Structure 1
Amino acid sequence: MTEEVGKTIPLKRLVPGLIIGPAAWLGPYIVAASLFLPTLIQKIDAGNKIELVALFSTCGMIVAAISNMVAGYFSDRTYSKYGQRTPWLLGGAFAFMLTMILASFANTIPYLLIVWMISQVALNFIVAPMVAWIDMAPEDGKATASSAYGGLGMALGNNGFSIFGAMLLGQFRLGFIIFGIITFVGTLIAVLIVKEPSNLNDKAAISKKEKTAKEKTTLKDLKNVFPSWKIGRDYYLALAGKLLQGIGNFAITGYLLYIMTDFMGKNTSGAQGYIQIVNTIMLVFGISKGFLAGPLSDKYKLLKYPIALSTLCLAAGALSIFFFRNDASIWIYGLMAGLGMGIWNSLDNLLNLEVIPDKERVAFFLGVYNLGNTVTQAFAPVIAAFVISVFGFSAIFIVSFAFALLGGICIMSIKSVKR
């Protein structure tokens, strides 16, 4: 197994790669999952759109969870001239591009579902290896690397691409193709900038006997795959916090198109405009916090508190729409959610590095942790669909508030990170 300690990539190469890379995979995925996929489902079977979005989300969640762990496992055990992560990044990005192109031709739900599931596998072979780049930053630059990945790269992915994606709602089939190509080209650019070093010497340094013993133990003993609560307590709390916060966030953003049309009464043109406004506000806050959160965290030695605070911002944003239900509430939501997600995305990966239970399996544990970026977006609409069908659209804002609040409680319960 590769030992990453002592292997570093200069920040002048790593930071641009950690901005472009996550933006390139997360942006197209967000746009496809929250805008193009619901629009295509509505076109194919409008009468069952809510239930079908939930079905796609459920299946996607299962496939994403499995493929992410598999991707992390194999990435940690890869030896190549181009490093551990690069071969999987490029392969996953190319496969994701192909699935987006295939999705653009879908005219039946079964065909679309199969293609979408394959895309989830491909996507997670980008997610798990790429986030492990953060651990290759110099020791005194890990907060900067985390901010680059989460605060800047993911801010661009979460919100920046949605502004452009909303413009293509009327040409959503073309949108699938364009954003699929963006994923591959963006990932390729990130890989070329980072220039991950070869790790072939690591393979030569580890005897075949030792390597085999380690892998057999990992595969046969579940305790070594997922440590006990006593060992991995803080990691599990951080993971639970991310999952809960993510559900709170995506319960709204995953149905933002339908919220604008079915709840707020906007027509397609009006919904497009407000989606762009919300995402523009969140993008500005996300980028600003990406520049500030990491350096301020290093300076004042604060990590747990600001992350917990970010969940309160998300909770407050959700309540604003529930109570006011007007155009102003959309602006308030954009401001509060933008502030919360900006802080969260900047620092949560650094928090996970602090509580990771096994530094020899960085890609695996970071990959599982970052399932929060895909699994929650898949799982949140399932919860939202149930709540909408039983209580109506307004209830999803209470659900968002509750999950975000529970996420903050989990973060504050972490003991190894004091503040």
Structure 2
Amino acid sequence: MNKTTISLKRLIPGLIIGPASWLGPYIVMNSLFLPALIQHFNAPHKIELVALFSTCGMIVAALSNMIAGALSDKTKSRFGKRAPWLLGGAFVFMLAMIAASFSPNIPVLLTAWMIGQAALNFIVSPMVAWIDFAPKDGRATASSAYGGLGMALGNNGFNVIGAMFLSQYRLGFIIFGIITFIGVTIAAIIVHEPSNLDEELTEKAPKPKLTLKDAASIFPRWSIGRDYYMALIAKLFQGVGNFAITGYILYIMTDFLHRGSQTQSSIQLINLILLIFGIFMGFVAGPVSDKFKILKLPVGFSTLFLAFGALMLFFFRDTFGIVTYAFAAGIGMGMWNSLDNLLNLEVIPDQNRVAFFLGVYNLGNTITQAIAPVLAAAVISLFGYSGIFIVSFIFSLIGGVLILGIKSVKR
């Protein structure tokens, strides 16, 4: 089968605008508008309700992500195999967020939010597979555009705008839902995925024989998918190590570092540094990886920066520690986000199911954000806030060791 290739001139802008358009609005709505509306409906039980929404969202995301990836891999249309699903997902997500804005009670809000979660993953899973369209010598650059630039803008760039709508959170749902649809549509137009209707005509290569054990499962056994599973487990450890700190950053500032009136400015400083280094690594990491043909080493060693940053906050409980943590985490996360999707693409056990396996891999973002706060809460209750940084240090290093243990990617 002749592999579809799209030039970096079209692919890179799409891989920046696309993820920023779904991730940014989602983070703003999830962290600001949803909690505000839940508090409006039921303030006494808001903590439990936020946990309920998070748990249900994780389950829906896991299922819809795999389904979206599998459907996308099998799709043939004049608009390609990815664009129809991510555009449909963006449209349904917009409608779901508009419905959420008009919700009269918790059950209706939960229903709208779950529909939105499912639709969101019909954007995410096909879109990350766009990286596979990059030319062979530009795949790291494409991965860097998606994870380094697009996700950095989404993670840190939308919160400033979102805060302006905090007092008008119902309107915020509508506006940011529309932003997602418009942004994803623009990205799809720029990438302009070609038709794959003739794909069947070129698929004449004999398919490998599968055992009954392989056919009975959507996941290959360990001997076939070892490196993929290593990368997936590494992402979980690295993600928990990172989110154990970022998920409790407010309480770390108030209860551990005792920043008092400087709490808000300290958090803003950290976010600014993370944004700057995320964008910087987005510009640098991919091209450097393409030029020197290195991939596993920068992804693996990026976790050292996260581990170092955790120790800095543990030992230096002042502005120096905060700034040093932000610099180290910014470099580490920027490097990881820029290249980890490409590394995963290189170790996928079945190249005919790219979107499916990339979708499962990207579930690491959702699952770790659900696991990390629970683990961190348990550690805090046993050892106090200082225990979070030791957990982050250990988990980050384990993630790096697992990445370096991948065999099929040499360096």
> What is the TM-score of this pair, normalised by structure 1?
0.88
Distance of 2:384 and 2:56 partners within structure 1? 24
For 1:232, give the aligned amino acid. Answer: G
Of 187, 194, 197, 2:194 maps to 197
Distance of 1:164 and 1:271 partners within structure 2? 20
Distance of 1:273 and 1:107 partners within structure 2? 35
SS in 2 for 1:415: coil
CA offsets 1:193-221 (integer angstroms, 9 cap, x no match): 011101111245569xx99x99x999992
Q: How far did residue 339 of structure 1 move?
A: 0.8
Residues 19 and 358 (structure 1), Cα distance of their counterparts in 2 relative to 1, 3 Å cut: same
Distance of 2:377 and 2:38 partners within structure 1? 15
Q: Is the 8 A contact 2:236 2:364 kept in 1?
A: yes
Residues 50 and 310 (structure 1), Cα distance of their counterparts in 2 relative to 1, 3 Å cut: farther
Residue matched to 1:244 = 237
Distance of 1:395 and 1:41 partners within structure 2? 31
SS in 1 for 2:220: coil
Residue matched to 2:95 = 98
Residue matched to 1:178 = 175
Of 301, 320, 325, 1:333 maps to 325
For 1:37, give the aligned amino acid. Answer: L
Q: Is the 8 A contact 1:57 1:377 kept in 2?
A: no
Distance of 1:381 and 1:28 partners within structure 2? 22
Percent identity between the aligned chains?
Answer: 68
For 2:228, give the aligned amino acid. Answer: Y
Residue matched to 1:234 = 227
Distance of 2:383 and 2:109 partners within structure 1? 29
Q: Is the 8 A contact 1:19 1:152 kept in 2?
A: yes
Distance of 1:390 and 1:286 partners within structure 2? 33
Residues 399 and 43 (structure 1), Cα distance of their counterparts in 2 relative to 1, 3 Å cut: farther
Residue matched to 2:334 = 342
SS in 1 for 2:75: coil
Distance of 1:108 and 1:266 partners within structure 2? 37
Matched, 1:124 2:118: no
Residue matched to 1:312 = 304
Residue matched to 1:69 = 66
Q: How far did residue 134 of structure 1 move?
A: 0.7
Residue matched to 2:356 = 364
Out of 322-331 and 371-380, give the one that drifted further: 322-331
Of 242, 246, 263, 1:253 maps to 246
Q: What are the within-5 Å matches in structure 2 for residues 110-149 of structure 1? A: 110-149=107-146
Q: How far did residue 113 of structure 1 move?
A: 3.0
Q: Identify unmatched segments of 5+ residues in structure 2.
A: none
Residues 182 and 94 (structure 1), Cα distance of their counterparts in 2 relative to 1, 3 Å cut: same
CA offsets 1:80-122 (integer angstroms, 9 cap, x no match): 1111111111111112222223333456444433332222211
Q: Is the 8 A contact 1:58 1:379 kept in 2?
A: no
Q: What are the within-5 Å matches in structure 2 for residues 260-271 of structure 1? A: 260=253, 271=263
Residues 65 and 318 (structure 1), Cα distance of their counterparts in 2 relative to 1, 3 Å cut: same
Distance of 2:405 and 2:301 partners within structure 1? 13
Residue matched to 1:291 = 283
Distance of 1:78 and 1:219 partners within structure 2? 26
Distance of 1:260 and 1:138 partners within structure 2? 45
CA offsets 1:48-79 (integer angstroms, 9 cap, x no match): 55444433332222211111110001001111
Q: Is the 8 A contact 2:214 2:220 kept in 1?
A: no
For 1:352, give the aligned amino acid. Answer: N
Residues 181 and 273 (structure 1), Cα distance of their counterparts in 2 relative to 1, 3 Å cut: farther
CA-based RMSD of the aligned residues comes to 3.0
SS in 1 for 2:158: helix
Residue matched to 2:84 = 87
Residue matched to 1:222 = 216
Of 395, 404, 408, 1:412 maps to 404
